[in-house]
């Protein structure tokens, strides 16, 4: 039987636009994944702790405010400190194309700018977790 993927959808920072995060959470749940949503205004520290506590396979960040680079840098660093670097991180939101390579370089596995089809995301997660 296929493993049920556990994913933490997180909204780091002050930005309150959570339509995308909620829509993706519902789409992933409909695709059979277990979704945990952190709610708004989370610090990186809170997100790493939630990932640890909930023992998720994937951390999915939703960032629309343009702060994706520093937030992802911080997250990767703290994940290393807490010993959960093996967990996969994906990012969605308003991400300029020029930043996608930068994020991959940092160790962010999947980058999904707004408008990405649900199917693309779901396929990516299912295939990556199987590996």
E strands in the chain: 6-10, 34-37, 58-63, 88-93, 110-113
Q: According to the binding rule CB under 8 A, does residue 67 interact with other proteins?
A: yes
Total residues at the site for other proteins (CB under 8 A)? 34
Q: Cβ contacts of residue 119 below 8 Å, gap of 6+?
A: none
Binding mask 88-127 for other proteins (x = CB under 8 A): ------xxxxx--------------x-x-xxx--------
Nearer to other proteins, 4 or 85 (CB): 4
The residue among 5, 19, 11, 4 whose CA lies nearest residue 37 is: 11
Binding window for other proteins (CB under 8 A); candidates: 59-67, 78-86, 104-112, 123-131:
59-67
Question: Can you give the binding site for other proteins, defined by CB under 8 A?
Answer: 13-19, 22-23, 25-27, 29, 35, 37, 39-41, 43, 65-67, 70-71, 94-98, 113, 115, 117-119
């Amino acid at each position: 039987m296929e493993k049920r993927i556990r994913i933490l959808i997180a909204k780091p920072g002050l930005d309150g636009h959570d339509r995308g995060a909620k829509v993706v959470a519902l789409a992933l749940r409909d695709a059979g994944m277990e979704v945990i949503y952190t709610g708004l205004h989370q610090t990186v520290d809170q997100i790493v702790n939630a990932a640890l506590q909930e023992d998720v396979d994937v951390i999915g960040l939703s960032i629309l405010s343009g702060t994706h680079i520093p937030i992802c840098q911080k997250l990767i660093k703290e994940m290393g400190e807490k010993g959960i670097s093996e967990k996969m991180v994906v990012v969605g939101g308003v991400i300029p194309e020029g930043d996608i390579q930068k994020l991959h370089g940092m160790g962010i596995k999947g980058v999904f700018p707004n408008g990405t089809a649900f199917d693309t995301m779901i396929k990516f997660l299912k295939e990556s977790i199987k590996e």
